[in-house]
């Protein structure tokens, strides 16, 4: 059952409670690193309360994601938005698991208007993994990126899968606890526990911004 386990009033407290249950193997330090921010699938499909795919906690993370975007831009660091779009020829198992595909003509396919996308890097993907059959790895390599900060939705699907894929490509991964959201608190916590054990470091958005 869907839960609004994050609200504007509870998100920081709930995120800290999650962190108390998750291993954190290293402190965030970008002093000799070049991080990029990945903003995954912050589309109206997941943000509109009228959508069947609505993530109730997504509106609560939006201010934090916007703050991360602002901080990265001010430092001249890469920000890449992903936009999930499926066509019949590239849906694969998405068509089996999800009866309602997010197609190019869907009225809610666009990234939230809260983001200023003028001149922004937008990467279209068709699977949970933002690296799968895209040029994301090449874009990051061209920008000399060593670390990625994961934000967006859905935490236990596209965010977790992309975090694992980034790890497998030799990138240090920072997973933003209060900058990602899922459908249930247990899904989100499960993702943090899994990633924190061997793939990514769970962090708060404020910690990322301070480290920049």
Does 85 have pLDDT greater than 80?
yes
When the pLDDT of each residue in the chain is averaged and rounded to a whole number, the result is: 97
Does 1 have pLDDT greater than 90?
no
Average pLDDT over residues 130-136: 98
| CATH number of the domain to which 160 belongs | 3.40.50.850
Note the maximum CA span of the chain: 45
137 within a domain of the structure (yes/no): yes
pLDDT in tens, 96-107: 998 789 999 999
Banded pLDDT at 62 (limits 50, 70, 90) = very high
Banded pLDDT at 13 (limits 50, 70, 90) = very high
28 within a domain of the structure (yes/no): no
Average pLDDT over residues 189-196: 98
Instruction: Residue 127: give the domain boundaries.
Output: 34-211
Contact 82, 130 (CB under 8 A): yes
Whole-number Å distance between alpha carbons of 138 and 84? 19
Residue with tokens 């990945």: 38
Angle, nearest 10°, between helix axes 185-198 and 11-19? 40
Banded pLDDT at 41 (limits 50, 70, 90) = very high
Percentage of the chain beyond pLDDT 70 is: 100
201 within a domain of the structure (yes/no): yes
2 within a domain of the structure (yes/no): no
Whole-number Å distance between alpha carbons of 174 and 42? 18
171 within a domain of the structure (yes/no): yes
18 within a domain of the structure (yes/no): no
Domain count, the chain: 1
83 within a domain of the structure (yes/no): yes
Sheet holding 147-153, edge to edge: 121-125, 79-84, 35-40, 147-153, 172-181, 201-203
Average pLDDT over residues 193-207: 97
């Amino acid at each position: 059952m869907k839960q609004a386990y994050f609200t504007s009033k509870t998100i920081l407290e709930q995120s800290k409670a999650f962190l108390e249950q998750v291993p954190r193997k290293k402190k965030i330090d970008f002093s000799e690193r070049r991080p990029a921010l990945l903003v995954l699938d912050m589309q109206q499909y997941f943000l509109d309360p009228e959508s069947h795919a609505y993530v109730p906690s997504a509106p609560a993370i939006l201010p934090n994601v916007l703050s991360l975007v602002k901080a990265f831009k001010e430092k001249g660091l890469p920000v890449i938005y992903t936009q999930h779009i499926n066509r019949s020829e590239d849906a694969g198992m998405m068509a089996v698991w999800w009866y309602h595909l997010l197609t190019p003509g869907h009225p809610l396919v666009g990234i939230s208007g809260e983001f200023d996308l003028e001149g922004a890097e937008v990467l279209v993907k068709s699977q949970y993994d933002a690296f799968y059959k895209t040029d994301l790895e090449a874009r990051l390599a061209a920008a000399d990126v060593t670390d990625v900060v994961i934000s967006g939705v859905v935490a236990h699907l596209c965010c977790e899968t992309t975090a694992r894929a980034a790890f497998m490509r030799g990138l240090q991964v920072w997973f933003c606890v209060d900058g990602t959201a899922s459908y249930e608190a247990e899904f989100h916590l499960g993702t943090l526990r899994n990633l924190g054990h061997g793939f990514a470091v769970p962090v708060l958005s404020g910690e990322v911004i301070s480290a920049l």
